[in-house]
Every structure is written in structure tokens, then in C-alpha cells.
Structure 1
């Protein structure tokens, strides 16, 4: 298969604060182990969004609407290809949903998601 691995992007201000994108490191390691191509520059987060922690489900999805886009010139890389989005943690799925919607809108054949952990509600 010609699946393309892409990490969940961080806004540049969050990247400066954290000093690394953990999803990018996971995606790179997965690409190295599988031999699948890895493109860390396909998706971007041009709009800074507040931390989604503490927001309700619907508010998270509203906040993420349009927050993740395709980097200019990357459409040809994803057109007709399956794409795997790699992220560290999924809580509501709002960020992953925004990323997947962007990829499908711009021509990805299919979008799969791989996360290291799933955050749940405290019991």
C-alpha cells in the first residue's frame, strides 16, 4: 500500500512552548519501523486554539472547526492515497476529526487514525 503517515500538527506557539511535537516523534518512529513514507509537513495548525481540557464535547468540536488545514502545495502528496494520522492521546476526537476532515476534503482516498492512548472519563 502507498499509505502516508502524518503526525497531528501543533500550532507554532505550542511547539515553541513544548519544544517538541510528541505526535511527530511517534509518526517518525512508526514510519521507520514500517517502511511507510512519513510527511510531517502535510497538515498545519494555522490558528492557535485554547487547550481543550475542561471543555465539553460540543465545545471542543466547535473550537477545532477549521483549525487544521493542509499546508500549501501538499494536495498532490495526499490525492488518492490512504493517510494515517498519528497522535499521542485522543480525548473527544475533536482534533483528529478536524484533521481527518481536512485530508478527505483535499482528496485523501481514506483516513485512518492511530493513537498511543485514549483518555477516558474519571470513574
Structure 2
């Protein structure tokens, strides 16, 4: 009997503690502070603004061009300095180091059938003297055992330097810049190799050309990605 009385009293105290909140909810029901619609689940925010796990609406409407992207590092010191030395100052030793570090981070990452370096246009190649993505992909192919498909993708249209452009201009700049040169049967799954992923415009443009040519899955392996 004492236990029953204690339980009833505890329930009564709990009900009284929740009474102000129930009165407030009745008199002032939850209202979304962002759009004014009725709140969801007792919150002052409606369901339209709540993040939920799963695939975003844009990706549900259209399958992403890149299935998976892997970056060894965040683009920040000291990696950004190594990348600048490699890309703009001809320090190939820095490139070998970056390729080795990238290879070491690939444990557990699904292997593609081929590695495809993001190519330079021939005019940029003459100016720089080497293709930084290709020089990353060569040791990466040896370290992972994944075949290198260096000539599969071509950059057939000269474009402005991406570093000088904003996000929207980057996408416009690369529209139609790549084409698949190889004929015959293509690998079903490839990984694009590049030094840095910033907005992703270059990698997406390259992936679009590969997907249109019949490649079923395109991943991206990069040394660093901007936060």
C-alpha cells in the first residue's frame, strides 16, 4: 500500500512539474521561427527546416556524378605548402611524398579498376613541363596495384586557371572541357586522381565526361580538400 501511495504521489508531482509547459503550449503553440508555420514535435521550427539522415533531395532527383571522394588531408599547413611547391615550383620530390602519403590513407577504400589522372590541356602542360595529376597517379598505381589509365581522359579545351575564379565561374569555365579519348570497352569503376579538391568543379566536369562515355562509377582520390 505504501509503495502504491508513493508511486501515485510521484506521478502527481511529475504531472504538476509539466503543467506550466502544457499550459504554455496550449496558449502559445509551437510556431516555426523561420517561416511562421506550426512547429514540429514541440519545437519552434517546422519539419521543412529539420535536417534528417539520408540522401539530400538534389541527389535523389539526380544521381551524383562522383560516387565517392577520398582526401588524405585538409588543405591547410603544412600540406598546402607542399602542394604549392609541387604544383607551381617543379618540386617533384614533394609530389612523390604526397603520393606516398595518399596511398597510406587508402586502407579500407574500395579499389577501382583503373586510376585516371585529371589531365592538363597541352598548352598548360608545355608551360608547366609536367602534369601534376599524372605524376601523382604513377606512384599511386604502383603502391595500390591499380592499373593507370593515363590516356583515357583528355582536356581538349583550354580554360582559364580555376584558382582565379569563383565557384559558379569555375563550373562554367569547365563546361565541356574534358572528353574520353579511349575507344572500346571502358572500365566500369575508375578513380580520378588530382592534387586538390576545392569546389569540386574540375572533378565533376571530368566525371561527367566519363559517365557520359559509359563508366558506371567514378570516385575521386585527392591529396587534400579545402575545408
TM-score, normalization by structure 2: 0.49
Higher RCO (C-alpha under 8 Å, 6+ residues apart) = 1
Provide the C-alpha distance between the structure 2 equivalents of 1:106 and 1:70, rounded to a whole number of angstroms. Answer: 7
Match of 1:53 in 2: 163
- Residue 6 of structure 1 pairs with residue 120 of structure 2: no
Paired with 1:114 and 1:94, the residues of 2 have a C-alpha distance of 14
Alpha-carbon distance in 2 for matches of 1:2, 1:85:
10
Contact 2:112 2:191 in 1 (8 A): no
Shift of 1:76: 2.5
Other-structure match for 2:84: none
| Counterpart for residue 65 of structure 1 | 175
User: Which of the numbers 116, 135, 139 marks the counterpart of 1:29?
Assistant: 139
CA deviation map 1:7-62 (0-9, x unaligned): 00000010011101111011111110111111110111111101112311111001
1:110 is matched with 217
Unaligned runs of 5+ in 1: none
Write 1 or 2 for the structure with the bigger share of strand: 1
Moved over 3 A (4+): none
User: Which one has the bigger helix percentage?
Assistant: 2
1:84 aligned to which of 191, 207, 210: 191
| 3-state SS, counterpart of residue 53 of structure 1 | helix
Within the candidate set 117, 126, 129, 1:16 is matched to 126
Larger radius of gyration: 2
Does structure 2 retain, via aligned residues, the 8 Å contact 1:78–1:103? Answer: no
Q: Residue 30 and residue 56 in structure 1: after superposition, are their counterparts in 2 closer, same or farther (change >3 A)?
A: same
State the superposition RMSD in angstroms: 1.5
2:104 corresponding residue in structure 1: none
Equivalent-residue separation in structure 1 for 2:163 and 2:152 (angstroms): 26
- The separation in 2 between residues aligned to 1:34 and 1:52, in whole angstroms, is 29
CA distance in structure 2 between the aligned counterparts of 1:5 and 1:50, rounded to whole angstroms: 25
Q: Secondary structure at the match of 1:23?
A: helix
What is the Cα deviation at residue 2 of structure 1? 5.9
Q: TM-score, normalised by structure 1?
A: 0.88
